[in-house]
Amino acid sequence: MSERRDRSNQRGVALLLVLWIFMVLGVLALDFGRYMRDDAQAALNFSAETRGYYVALAGMNRALFAALEVREQRLRGGAAAPVEAEDADEEDDAVPLLAETPVDGQWHRGEFAGAEYEVRMTDEGGRIPINRVGRFVIETVVRNLLTGGNRTKGMNRRAATDLETVVDSILDWKDIDSLRRVRGAENDYYLSLRQPYRAKNAFLDSPEELLSVRGMTPELFYGVDGMPGLRDVISVHNRSGIVNVRATTPAVVQALLGMEETRAKEIVEHCDPATCLQSLRAEALVIDPRLPDRLGEDEPHTILVEARADVREDRSRATVAAVVELASDEIEGMRVLRWLDRAPWEGALPTVPEAEDVVS
């Protein structure tokens, strides 16, 4: 009787051990399956992202090729004919090349290798040449951005001080001397920071350098509450010293002329190419007699090209961008001045509460 009970207990223990083993094996199998699924999903995402990247790159190259051809024809004095694709075989599934992509700051769709992409070309000449303007223009732009595009709006004392600090510091940053303006900053200030660095004392090479300037805030640089930021209205590649009204944007008009967004959009969208320069100069003359001289007209020379592609329904968007100098008398072909391999940061910033004690 005792031997039979011992055997029964042994069988029970063995059964429990077997059940534990199967349970452990089941957990390991589920865990292994989950890791395999995650790896497969990661591989799929990487494949889609890579494909989207090269589709976007192809769209950029198509747009640049067309723009280069058109500009070279204009420089030779010929008519700018649309760029067409070479004749393809009947069995070739290649999509014809885009015709000229307008340099209008708007997204234009195209297709390559069965995937859609969008290209946007913006003339850098349509932005404010931060390296070529002096205190008056910089102060005007910063003031308009801080006041929301309403030039009649007063500024509180703190905002007025912040305005002077930012303007003086920008001028100190890009001039060649080490003399500090009243509210500016030079090496003595920047070297005293927790992470010290030196003042540039030279022209800006990228808009992002402004983030290192004393008094610069994310709200002023990136924009907030529907108001553009400095990164949206300035250019370090515009060497003409004027804003090309043929390629300007509502954000630039808003910042330069101190208008609200709806008014700036209305002016840009309904501006007659034949009289646009005169109209904007008349608007600028009302503000200050020095502003009209900062407006002019020119053919696109240095452009910002942005391309993006969505391969898997907005889940794997890839974006590339470049600042390119097109053909001219001094340059054969084109020259890439700046390359952005991934999309620049875009996002909303929290609202900054206004202080009291307003001054006019």
User: SS in 3 state form for 109-178?
Assistant: EEEECCEEEEEEEEEHHHCEECCCCCHHHHHHHHHHHHCCCCCCCCEEHHHHHHHHHHHHHHHHHHCCCC
Low-confidence ranges of the chain (pLDDT < 70): 1-12, 71-72, 74-100, 149-154, 311-316, 327-332, 343-360
Residue 121: CB atoms within 10 Å:
26
Task: Report percent pLDDT > 90 for the chain.
Answer: 24
Residue 162 CA: distances (Å) to CA of 100, 192, 234, 302: 44, 20, 19, 33
The pLDDT value recorded for residue 302 is 87
Residues in the chain: 360
The pLDDT value recorded for residue 149 is 62
- Measure the CA–CA gap between 46 and 287, rounded to whole angstroms: 53
The closest of 44, 42, 24 to 32, measured between CA atoms, is 24
CB 180 within 8 A of CB 193: no
CB 288 within 8 A of CB 21: no
The pLDDT value recorded for residue 30 is 84
Coil, helix or strand at residue 234: strand
Residue 191 CA: distances (Å) to CA of 46, 104, 177, 202, 262: 42, 42, 16, 17, 43
- Model-level pTM greater than 0.75? no
